[in-house]
Amino acid sequence: MPRFALVIEYHGGPFAGWQRQRDRPTVQAAVEAALGRLDPAVPSIVAAGRTDAGVHATGQVTHCDLARPWDPFRLAEAVNHHLRPAPVAVLRAAMVAGDFSARFDAVARHYRYRIVERRAPLALDRGLAWQLRRELDIEAMRAGAAHLLGRHDFTTFRASLCQAKSPVKTLDAITIEARETPGGREVTLRFRARSFLHSQVRSMVGTLVQVGLGAWPPERVARALAARDRAACGPVAPPEGLCLTGVDYPPGRGP
């Protein structure tokens, strides 16, 4: 059976996350239902990242095996037809090696977190960003973020339901940028790592916001990390600001 990789965009608001659940709508179930209209025997699909409820994606990657060798463009068009009206879209499809894994072949995952600082309610960005009514200290946040870079035990920033075998991860990059917008300012945090723990990014964002608000000194991030205790984490950031923006694969391996 030919194997295909799909690059998928979705609004996480209506869904209980990526992973299929018995009695709740999920992105995986929506994509599998659309694929099932093309190939009733399609098996379960595998994604690069299992995003939580309310989390978005502009670059999720999944793979599936189909009974016939579809033209990739026509496959994307057909799946998108059957996905309507769900806020999910296949951006592109590609035929890949039969042993390709969207999950295990990934060498880096990229997440973006958006914060909008303004007093007026969000109209266009409602559900797509975390609104704060106070201005953050960006330099303090960058100083706090520096303590998270590298290989660490991230138990403090790991959800209690996390199923990863080890809490040790290597965080390759964090960038924090701010730009002025009409009525306020937008702060964007970007994270890159080979893999992340359950709720790790939102936990780190929530902690760094405490630094940005002046509630924590930057060095407290290092103490929280060293504590290896979930109780040492700051409040977890809400899901609506988080987006999986891309997944990297070895050259010639991925979509």
Residues taking part in catalysis: 52
CA 94 – CA 73 distance, rounded (Å): 8
DSSP assignment of 181-249: ETTEEEEEEEEEES---TTHHHHHHHHHHHHHTTSS-THHHHHHHHHT-GGGS-PPPPGGGEEEEEEE-
Residue 217 and residue 208 in contact, taking contact as beta carbons nearer than 8 Å = no
The dihedrals phi and psi of 105, each to the nearest 5 degrees, come to -85, -10
**Strand locations in the chain, DSSP E?**
3-10, 46-47, 56-65, 88-96, 108-117, 130-132, 150-153, 168-181, 184-193, 242-248
